Amino acid sequence: MLASVLIANRGEIARRIIRTARRLGVRAIAVYSEADAGAPHVREADEAVLIGPPAARDSYLVPGKILDAARRTGAAAVHPGYGFLSENADFAEAVIAAGLTWVGPPPSAIRAMGLKDAAKKLMAEAGVPVTPGYLGEDQSEDRLQREADAIGYPVLIKAVAGGGGKGMRKVDQAGDFAAALASCRREAAASFGDDRVLIEKYVTRPRHIEVQVFADRHGGAVHLFERDCSLQRRHQKVIEEAPAPGMDAATREAVCAAAVKAAQAVAYEGAGTVEFIADASEGLRADRIWFMEMNTRLQVEHPVTEMVTGQDLVEWQLRVASGEPLPLAQDQIRLDGWAMEARLYAENPVTGFLPSTGPLSHFHLPEDAVRVDTGVEEGGEVTPFYDPMIAKLIAHGPTRTAAARSLADACRQVEVWPVKTNAAFLARCLDHGDFLAGAVDTGFIEQRLEVLVPAGGPSAAAAQLAALVSVELAEDEADDASPWSPLAGLAGFRVNRAADPQVRLQCGGEVLTAPLAVADYEPEGVLVADGDIVVFEDGEAFAFSRPVAGGDGAAAGGGDGAVLSPMPGRIVTVSVAEGDAVEAGQPLVTLEAMKMEHGLVAPFAGVVAELRVAAGEQVSEGVLLARLEKAG
């Protein structure tokens, strides 16, 4: 077994690797940026090295700094985790050239699978079924347009060097192709330094099925069954599960055998995931599942495989990297029950899932019935420098329904403030009747957004709880310590009045009244922060305050035409000029933040009265980007 391992990553995956390394007696070495100086993975490692400023391009993405840290600490190996440098063949070669063990596949395998067009050609030659599309070298806009037209719409434009949903655009008609191609290329160049693309036929009812494979340097290769990652938003996985619903034994055998064949075709070693797209219009069938790509690393969703197989995949990685054979043969690997993982993101579903940054003043995750993998803790901060995923909640049960119910309950118990999260959205996905019935595909979320992200506010029970707490606060503030003090916001109370007294509160810019119940109560799920009463309800956080005297409770902003930056980022494109007439919903500027592009649109039809930014500028949160005036 390796004596020590340097983890070239951060957050929850760094902590995950540290846990296994400690159990195996392997010294764990962390690296960190200035933004992560107080992060849990730094504290939990046996040793930690500062490698640079907050931006990943100046720290976690600089191979020389990682290798220098390994040299200074005497590390025997480098584990890249996922993301960052995990699929960088040049970095893997540099690690090996430095005399260190690379905990991952050979650089040749990374290269073979790293470019989607080359990988698909290789898989076709190896007898692995591939999706119809264009993989050619001619990258001219005219050629790509012609190929898309020939394939037939809808098509999918995908970055050749892409991954994680970045550099990917669906095009429904020929007239939209040029704009989608330009946007895809920009995002691909920014994320991967390579703007080349391929074109694929878009499957109208697609399922995302992937197979966990493992291989050693002694010729052994196995699979650890499949996962279903079909619940996605903007090609980003949201909920993953193992096994895949509706997968019969014959189809499982065919797709898992194809995955092992794919790994053997590139002389693979270590952990890898072979991803397939399935046409689920007639259920899962072996002849309607095609190779999509291979991720030459551990996956974010690996815990669901661990929970249904009872295996520690990081341990497998370290043993294979140490030169040991695979821990189990194929016939020794068993499926046990069902597991589901929900990705908890720092984002606000109500604002179109825009990332949310800031301090984690209150951070509580349920840890009794589910496994929790997180890279942050209360008192920490969510910064704009890295991916907004802050935790993974993983449930295991004897059946799919049991796992889903357990995970939904856990999501409803999440309490985070003031950073917004998608916990309530996750619970709604898991509770949805179609999901519980196994009727899932990659369009599931988009087709049900109105139900999964409702416009409603807090429940009457939440408002009443806030009212009770507000009276207690008012009582503390009032000189006469009376629960009926004017400070309590009670309206029209008198002795022997039939109706309950009412408390006026403000929540989300709206004024509401809540009846005051005088019965004893325990204010659970309540936080008082900066003068607000924060009530946690089913994974959401609602902030209540007493309305400003004389105010009508209307929300400020939204109708004044000001278009503000929702978060720190870089302006990628500006689509209008001052004086331009625009329609409601028309794109104005595109902001790049947290490795994704976010389009900001006109709130109403009018004229661009002011334009404050240009392409390439860095902006802070809340900065005025443009201002519109209503026409006429």
> Catalytic amino acids?
297
Report the DSSP beta bridge partners of residue 373. Answer: 392
* Separation between Cα atoms, residue 395 and residue 340, nearest integer Å: 5
Structure tokens, 308: 């249904």
What is the residue type of 225? F
* Separation between Cα atoms, residue 418 and residue 534, nearest integer Å: 9
* Separation between Cα atoms, residue 211 and residue 217, nearest integer Å: 20
* Separation between Cα atoms, residue 463 and residue 457, nearest integer Å: 10
CB 521 within 8 A of CB 471: no
Cβ-based neighbours of 632, under 8 Å, separated by 6 or more: none
Tell me whether the omega of the peptide bond preceding residue 418 falls within 30 degrees of 0, making it cis: yes
Structure tokens, 116: 């989607």
Strand order in the sheet with 562-564: 562-564, 624-630, 606-611, 581-582
CB 596 within 8 A of CB 559: no
Report the DSSP beta bridge partners of residue 570. Answer: 592, 618
- The total of other beta-carbon atoms located within 10 Å of residue 143's CB is 14
CB 185 within 8 A of CB 169: no
CB 558 within 8 A of CB 510: no
Report the DSSP beta bridge partners of residue 210. Answer: 227, 275
| Exposed / middle / buried, residue 492 (Cβ in 10 Å: 0-12, 13-18, 19+) | exposed
- The total of other beta-carbon atoms located within 10 Å of residue 190's CB is 17
* Separation between Cα atoms, residue 172 and residue 261, nearest integer Å: 34
* Separation between Cα atoms, residue 632 and residue 630, nearest integer Å: 6
Distances (CA, A) of 176 to 157, 160, 586: 12, 20, 15
* Helix pair 141-151, 177-192: axis angle to 10 deg: 120
Structure tokens, 623: 């900065």
* Separation between Cα atoms, residue 258 and residue 288, nearest integer Å: 13
What is the residue type of 400? R
Structure-derived torsion over alpha carbons of residues 272, 278, 283, 287, reported in degrees to the nearest 10: -90
Can you spell out the DSSP letters for 180-230?
A: HHHHHHHHHHHHHS---EEEEEPPSSEEEEEEEEEE-TTS-EEEEEEEEEE
Q: What are phi and psi of 152, to 5 degrees?
A: 100, 135
Distances (CA, A) of 451 to 267, 287, 518: 46, 34, 35
Structure tokens, 589: 């500027």
